[in-house]
Structure formats: C-alpha cells, structure tokens
C-alpha cells in the first residue's frame, strides 16, 4: 500500500496549506493514487473541502497522545507520525510537509521506496561547503562523536544535508527512527539550531545508503511562511466552491514564482540584504488578491 502522509496540527493556516498540497496531488496522480493520511486535530477543515472520501483517512489521535508525541522538540513530531503510520498503514510511506505543491505524479517515488530507497526533499550541500548555517554547525560540531544505537556517528566535511520537507521510506525501515530521534536530541543539546532534525535524518539515513531527492516531483516553499494568512483567507472565502475552483484560485497566487523570488533575495550576500533593508527595498510578500 502507498500512503501519502500529512501533519496539520494546531493552526488553520497549516490546514489550508495541506489542502492545497492534496488538491495539487489529485491533479498529478494519474495511476493508482496513494491513500492520503492526514494527521490533524481539525479533520472537519479538510472534510469541508474534500468531502467524505474513502481514500483520505484521519487517524484518531487523542490530545494526550499528541502531547506525548511533541516530546521536548516540536520538530520531532513527524518521527512519531511516521512510526504510527508504519504500524497502521504498512507499505510505502511518503511524509510531506504542508507547504508543498505536487508538480509530477510521484508514482516512481513510491515504486523506488518499495525497492528500499529512502527519500528526502533535496540535498542542500555538504556540511563543510553548504550554506552559512551548515558551515557554522560543521565548525562547531565536527569533532563530536555520537554513539547512537549500534553506530558511531560524526559530522564529516562530506556529510550531505537533506531538507526534511519530504521523508520517504518503506514501513520496515522505521526501525531506524529511534536512532534519528536520539541523534536529533543529542544534536539539539550540543547546538540548538532548527535544522538539527533534518541533519539527524540525513546522517542516519546515509548510514544505510544514498538518499534520493523528491524535488523533481514536489515543490517545497519552506521560505514563504508569510503566505499562510493569505492561503487561510482564500480557503475560508471559497470553501464551498468545490475543490477544482479552490485549486485554480490558489494556483493563481503563483507560489512557485514567489518562492524563487524570496529565495534569490535570501541567498544574496548579507551586506547586500542589509543595504536593501536600509533602503526599504528588502523582499516582501506582495499584496495578493483572493
């Protein structure tokens, strides 16, 4: 069984993102669409748009279980979701963040997962030569060693960091997730930076082999948190217009273009960003009509 997993807990804005991602998946999935499992405390927000669909499931999670899953870091919640999904929906699991848009049918991804391949969204470079934060973490922690499970793990210059907006693995491979959780906690304790969860996934998965990228199939607009209120407003205003119209209206926002524009600004040298900010020309989300 192929299962597409979403985590939409706590905020209506995130539900709107997840709905757009699901609608985009429905547009590209041509053959044998996957079952969709939405881990949420607001299933009614999805049912307003999607209706009662047998291929969309909302696992019943108690408030106490949600709280237990949170643990010490909110970033570790997806590990608990993957473990639950492996126990209840055995097969090929593909966890996707809500701020995603499907651009191609991921059927080949599910097929590769069935052969044992692990997926993450995209490689962000090596720790020694990647972005500024990666290099800073490497300088700070490259002499550390962590004994996790039966492995001794280091951050090497050539360790590749993958974005965890997508996590794909066969359900038997969840036996590695306790190692990921333990390593993430150790990394957070050593140097508290938000990317430690995806570094833990990257390090542990690479023990088992090369990680494949899901980026050719799905856009992850992780840098556009500012668009969430607009998405929520759109889905609230047009929730009774049907999935097709909602998809078309959300698509008119042109999120891929905004994602690239903000990314280009973010990747400018720091001095240029500072100058643009002082001049009032820093990148801002344009006014969007819904």
Residue 4, strand partner residues: 36, 94
- Which overall architecture, per CATH, does domain 2-220 show? Alpha-Beta Complex (3.90)
> How many residues does this entry show for the chain?
290
The domain segmentation of the chain, as residue ranges, is 2-220, 227-278
User: One digit per residue, pLDDT tens: the chain, 290 residues?
Assistant: 999 999 999 878 899 999 999 999 999 998 778 999 999 999 999 999 999 999 999 999 999 998 888 766 677 789 999 999 999 999 999 999 999 999 999 999 999 999 999 999 999 999 999 888 999 999 999 999 999 988 999 999 999 999 999 999 999 999 999 999 999 999 999 998 889 999 999 999 999 999 999 999 999 999 999 999 999 999 999 988 999 999 999 999 999 999 999 999 888 888 888 787 888 788 888 888 88
* CA nearest neighbour of 198 among 208, 207, 188, 210: 188
* CA nearest neighbour of 198 among 213, 210, 208, 183: 183
Helices (H), 34-106: 43-50, 63-70, 77-88
């Amino acid at each position: 069984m192929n299962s597409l997993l979403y985590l939409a807990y706590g905020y209506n804005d995130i539900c709107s993102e997840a709905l757009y991602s699901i609608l985009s998946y429905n547009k590209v999935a041509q053959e044998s669409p996957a079952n969709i499992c939405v881990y949420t405390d607001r299933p009614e927000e999805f049912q307003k748009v999607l209706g009662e669909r047998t291929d969309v499931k909302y696992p019943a999670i108690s408030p106490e279980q949600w709280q237990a899953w949170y643990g010490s870091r909110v970033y570790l919640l997806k590990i608990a979701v993957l473990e639950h999904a492996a126990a209840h929906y055995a097969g090929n699991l593909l966890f996707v963040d809500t701020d995603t848009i499907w651009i191609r049918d991921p059927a080949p991804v599910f097929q590769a997962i069935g052969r044992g391949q692990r997926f993450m969204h995209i490689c962000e470079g090596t720790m020694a030569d990647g972005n500024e934060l990666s290099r800073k973490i490497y300088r700070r922690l490259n002499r550390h060693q962590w004994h996790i499970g039966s492995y001794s793990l280091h951050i090497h210059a050539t360790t590749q960091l993958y974005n965890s907006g997508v996590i794909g693995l066969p359900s038997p491979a969840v036996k590695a997730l306790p190692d990921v959780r333990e390593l993430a906690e150790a990394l957070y304790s050593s140097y508290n930076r938000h990317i430690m969860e995806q570094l833990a996934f990257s390090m542990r998965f690479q023990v088992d082999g090369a990680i494949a990228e899901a980026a050719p199939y799905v856009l992850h607009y992780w840098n556009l948190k500012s668009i969430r209120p607009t998405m929520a407003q759109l889905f609230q205003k047009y929730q009774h217009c049907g999935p097709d119209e909602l998809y078309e209206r959300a698509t008119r926002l042109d999120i891929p273009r905004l994602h690239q524009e903000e990314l280009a600004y973010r990747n400018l040298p720091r001095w240029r960003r500072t100058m643009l900010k002082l001049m009032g020309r820093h990148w801002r989300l344009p006014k969007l009509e819904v």
